[in-house]
Amino acid sequence: MYVVNIDDLNGTERDIVSDNWRSRRMVLAREGVGFSFHETTLFAGTTSTFHYQNHIEAVYCVGGSGTITNEETGEVHELRDGTMYLLDKHDLHTVRTEHEMRMVCVFNPPVTGREVHDENGVYPALNEDGTPVS
């Protein structure tokens, strides 16, 4: 059994902060369960574009409000408490945050926690040892 409290991750290697968001990674590839689980806070008034070419991501909004735009189709969807979106086609997307949003995210394959978004908003697919997934 694995149990963790979100506050225990503050200031650790599992607590990642950027200009637009903060992500605390509760479950990573090292736990060996086939997915990773994160709580991500998107700061109010920010715009972030992501493109997870190597991962499927499900995101559930548990607080705040904003929009998500599918950059390939132009579709815009409202995000608020109780909304879930699934990036099942590796969708290039932009999230615009009106009020700070708290999101619960699941990635498959799991992230290691050492990934960094590249210039296109993409995470590389890495094995736990840091080598690329083949």
User: Can you say how many angstroms the Cα of residue 11 is from the centroid of all Cα atoms in its chain?
Assistant: 18
pTM: 0.86
At 53 the pLDDT is 85
Alpha-carbon gap, residue 77 to 21, rounded angstroms: 20
Q: Is the pLDDT at 33 greater than 90, yes or no? A: yes
At 76 the pLDDT is 98
For 72, which DSSP code? T
At 63 the pLDDT is 98
Alpha-carbon gap, residue 54 to 65, rounded angstroms: 27
- Of 113 and 88, more confident: 88
Q: Is the pLDDT at 61 greater than 80, yes or no? A: yes
At 44 the pLDDT is 98
Q: pLDDT band at 91, cuts 50/70/90?
A: very high
Q: In 1-134, where do the E strands start and end?
A: 15-17, 21-27, 36-42, 47-51, 56-70, 76-80, 84-87, 92-108
